[in-house]
């Protein structure tokens, strides 16, 4: 039976029941389940555990959102306020000229106006929740104003429009398209570090008969991508998870009933148009139309506290704003889902779901424009959804729409999106698992069950399978028939480097046959290396330096001997086309290591450091392109060392048992507040590859309580 037919049958059979349950969740909700706890008081409680994670128990949804805003400010006030100022396009007014480029990007794309439209576009029962969230932010600020910098105080008060603008800036104008992504696309057109892992294991493959979910986001360790971990409990709400600071809902979420996690999928959702100018306007379908032009004033705070005004002239076409000029041609940009204001509400409805049918009803809202999404629930079901709001286009493939397309034809301007029933998805596959590591949807199950020819061509970038996905498929394919919690935990923390299996044997053999003495010494180190990126792994440094010098797809040494074939994810790529170039690179790399370190036998943990606050401990894990599930992106080398700056952020393993079992970690800590011990208190656990319990029950939280706050 086809996957589409399975979905359709479920939807028809369950429609009446789903509708009733969903409407009930949207209105009144049942009392919390035993164990997760009605509050011991009549007010709203924020229980902070010893890792700085807030566990919020509230009598109603409005009180819950208010307390959630309050808790975010307690942990991240300076960061959150500054991010909201950036979302207004006014950060340079409060913080200085270093934020001018950010302000220009935000104002050119009209985020403040779109945020106002979003505020007006909320449903009657959800809009008050965002208002409550903003009230919580401001209540904390009112009570702790002396703890805020003068710049942050000047931004206050915070508004619901700030919340929506921040969501737009993170999702639509960073994940879908950012200044860096835009520049890269334009450069590729002229020439002609987001990531994550997710696994879901069905109850039928689990050793306990309960579904398992592995959630693992890879983000930059700071600024706009800073994550916040929280538990939210109120009538009908039993959520635990994490999301970007400043968001009022959870992105990675595990309730007593359902859970999901997400990775980046990069559908073609920001279209660039080359505008043909004529007679002071632009050409569309043979007619000259006038630009919509206006000038805004950016205020820029100077070092002496004075303000400098700078005009910003913004031109718009029917496509969108002019964001660049190339080849003497203005470039207009059209971003998907700006007319879908209920992104936060969709996340909220997903978290209120009690089963797959209700969860899928929330997904059908299609307000969230991005993300591969892996799902599991306590009924044992799993699913993978290539979530998107892809424009419907009559012509062109992914590469076409990632370039600059003619702007003088209205037929190329998308106005409708591909409906939910036509996006790639899989439910309860026969393998008993789904996975994604930022690869195409077709490899979410292996052997593959999705046929790419049946879907719109703009869904997936033709970049080939990622090395992390190759590693994930290999791990999952070799697990026992009945998979345990510990199996998935080991897989998540696995530092084995997939690319080492692809290339080390040939590097060693070639060096022994034709390498210089220093290349042969390097080959000896690689031959005995455990092919892992553990703290004590010797050989990882040599391999990392070689792979970096060889370049993406071995471009600097002539390419792969056997290129990547998505139909053979466990067997390709292999080897290098030009052995002479490969040996020259190995010789250079090995000589440089011996010169700097005095030996090739360097432990990886002596090179890779986990540093934050007052903590500096040995690191483990490998950069994404090397193919370790334990992913750590690193800084440039300084004094022979690199620092973790990206990669494993919030991650965990969840078993949908009763009571639910979970172990998690937020690698760098749950606070950014200056002076807090929670800035870096989880790094030692990360260094040891240890997770911590996901405390959900009040008795466990009370046993690990650091402080308590009661809000009225």
Residue 57's pLDDT is 98
In the numeric block, the tokens 């000259």 are attached to: 288
SS3 284: strand
Task: Output the furthest CA–CA distance in the chain (Å, rounded).
Answer: 77
Q: How confident is the model at residue 237 (pLDDT cuts 50, 70, 90)?
A: very high
Q: Which of 88-92, 440-444, 445-449 has the highest mean pLDDT?
A: 88-92
> In the predicted model, what is the mean pLDDT of the chain?
92
- What does the pLDDT look like over 496-519, one tens digit per residue? 999 999 999 999 999 999 999 999
Q: How confident is the model at residue 25 (pLDDT cuts 50, 70, 90)?
A: very low
In this model, does residue 223 exceed pLDDT 60? yes
SS3 351: helix
CA–CA separation, 439 vs 118, rounded Å?
31
CA–CA separation, 486 vs 387, rounded Å?
29
Domains 1-263+339-391+413-484+652-712 and 498-628 share a fold: no
Structure tokens at 164: 């929506």
CA–CA separation, 52 vs 72, rounded Å?
11
- With a CB cutoff of 8 Å and minimum separation 6, the contacts of 142 are none
Residue 705's pLDDT is 98
Q: Which of 244-248, 263-267, 348-352 has the lowest mean pLDDT?
A: 263-267
Residue 570's pLDDT is 84
Going by the DSSP 8-state scheme, the letter that residue 172 receives in this structure is I
Residue 593's pLDDT is 98
Q: How confident is the model at residue 184 (pLDDT cuts 50, 70, 90)?
A: confident
Q: How confident is the model at residue 567 (pLDDT cuts 50, 70, 90)?
A: confident
In this model, does residue 3 exceed pLDDT 80? no
In this model, does residue 27 exceed pLDDT 80? no
In this model, does residue 189 exceed pLDDT 70? no
Residue 461's pLDDT is 61
What top-level class would CATH report for the domain 498-628? mainly alpha
Q: How confident is the model at residue 12 (pLDDT cuts 50, 70, 90)?
A: very low
One-letter-per-residue 3-state SS of 539-598: CHHHHHHHHHHHCHHHHHHCCEEECCCCCCCCCCCEEECCHHHHHHHHHHHHHHHHHHHC
% of the chain at pLDDT higher than 70? 92
- What does the pLDDT look like over 338-377, one tens digit per residue? 999 999 999 999 999 999 999 999 999 999 999 999 999 9
- What does the pLDDT look like over 633-661, one tens digit per residue? 999 999 999 999 999 999 999 999 999 99
- With a CB cutoff of 8 Å and minimum separation 6, the contacts of 69 are 132, 133, 134, 135, 136, 137, 139, 140, 248
In this model, does residue 477 exceed pLDDT 60? yes
Residue 448's pLDDT is 86
Mean pLDDT score, 226-252: 98
In this model, does residue 301 exceed pLDDT 60? yes
In this model, does residue 669 exceed pLDDT 80? yes
Residue 37's pLDDT is 43
CATH architecture assigned to 1-263+339-391+413-484+652-712:
4-Layer Sandwich (3.60)
Domain ranges of the chain: 1-263+339-391+413-484+652-712, 498-628
């Amino acid at each position: 039976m086809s996957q589409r037919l399975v979905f359709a049958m479920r939807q028809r059979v369950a429609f009446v029941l789903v509708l009733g349950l969903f409407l009930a969740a949207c209105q009144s909700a049942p009392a919390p389940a035993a164990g997760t706890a009605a509050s011991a008081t009549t007010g709203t409680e924020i229980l902070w555990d010893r890792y700085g994670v807030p566990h919020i128990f509230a009598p109603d949804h409005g009180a819950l959102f208010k307390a959630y805003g309050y808790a975010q400010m307690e942990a991240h006030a300076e960061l959150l306020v500054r991010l909201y100022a950036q979302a207004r396009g006014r950060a340079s007014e409060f913080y200085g000229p270093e934020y001018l480029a950010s302000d220009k990007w935000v104002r050119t794309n009209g985020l403040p106006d779109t945020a106002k439209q979003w505020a007006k576009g909320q449903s009657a029962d959800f809009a008050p929740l965002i208002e409550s969230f903003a009230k919580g932010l401001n209540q904390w600020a009112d009570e702790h104003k002396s703890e805020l910098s003068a710049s942050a105080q000047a931004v206050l008060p915070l508004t619901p429009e700030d919340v929506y603008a921040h969501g737009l800036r993170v999702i639509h104008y960073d994940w879908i398209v950012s200044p860096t992504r835009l520049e890269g696309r334009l450069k590729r057109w002229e020439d002609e570090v987001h990531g994550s892992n997710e696994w879901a294991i069905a109850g039928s493959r689990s050793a306990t008969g309960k579904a398992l979910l592995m959630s693992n986001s890879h983000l930059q360790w700071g600024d706009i991508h800073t994550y916040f971990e929280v538990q939210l409990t109120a009538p009908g709400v039993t959520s635990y998870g994490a999301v970007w600071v400043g968001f009022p809902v959870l992105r990675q979420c595990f309730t007593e009933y359902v859970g999901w996690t997400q990775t980046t999928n990069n559908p073609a959702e920001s279209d660039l148009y080359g505008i043909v100018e004529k007679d002071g306007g632009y050409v569309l379908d043979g007619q000259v139309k006038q630009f919509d032009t206006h000038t805004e004033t950016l205020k820029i705070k100077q070092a002496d506290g004075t303000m400098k005004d700078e005009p910003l002239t913004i031109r718009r076409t029917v496509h969108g704003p002019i964001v660049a000029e190339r080849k003497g041609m203005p470039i207009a940009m059209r971003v998907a889902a700006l007319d879908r204001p209920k992104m936060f509400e969709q996340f909220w409805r997903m978290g209120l779901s009690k089963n797959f049918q209700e969860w899928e009803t929330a997904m059908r809202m299609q307000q969230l424009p991005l993300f591969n999404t892996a799902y599991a629930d306590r009924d044992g079901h799993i699913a993978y959804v290539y979530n998107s709001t892809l424009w419907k286009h009559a012509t062109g493939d992914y590469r076409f729409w990632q370039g600059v397309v003619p702007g003088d034809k209205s037929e190329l301007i998308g106005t409708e999106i591909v409906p939910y029933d036509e996006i790639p998805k899989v439910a309860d596959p026969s393998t008993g698992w789904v996975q994604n590591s930022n690869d195409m949807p077709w490899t979410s199950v292996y052997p593959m069950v999705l046929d790419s020819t049946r879907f719109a061509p703009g869904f997936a970038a033709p970049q080939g399978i990622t090395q992390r996905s190759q590693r994930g498929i290999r791990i999952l394919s070799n697990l026992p028939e009945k998979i345990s919690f510990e199996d998935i935990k080991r897989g998540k923390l696995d530092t084995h480097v997939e690319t080492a299996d692809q290339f080390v044997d040939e590097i060693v053999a070639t060096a022994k046959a034709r390498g210089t003495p220093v290349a042969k010494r390097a080959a000896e180190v690689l031959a005995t290396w455990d092919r892992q990126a553990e703290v004590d792994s010797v050989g990882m440094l040599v391999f990392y330096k070689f792979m970096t010098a060889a370049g993406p797809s071995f471009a600097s040494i002539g390419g792969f001997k056997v290129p990547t074939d998505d139909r053979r994810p466990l067997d390709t790529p292999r080897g290098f086309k030009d052995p002479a170039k490969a040996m020259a690179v190995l010789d250079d790399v090995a000589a440089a290591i011996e010169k700097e370190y005095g030996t090739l036998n360097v432990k990886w943990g002596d090179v890779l450091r986990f540093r934050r606050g007052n903590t500096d401990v040995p690191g483990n894990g490998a950069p994404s392109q090397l193919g370790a599930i334990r992913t750590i992106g690193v800084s440039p080398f300084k004094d022979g060392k690199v620092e973790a700056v990206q990669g494993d952020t919030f991650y965990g393993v969840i078993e949908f048992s009763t009571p639910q079992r979970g172990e998690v970690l937020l690698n760098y800590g749950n606070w950014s507040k200056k002076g807090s011990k929670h800035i870096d208190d989880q790094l030692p656990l990360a260094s040891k590859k240890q997770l911590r319990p996901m405390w959900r029950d009040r008795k466990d939280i009370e046993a690990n309580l650091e402080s308590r706050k009661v809000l009225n």
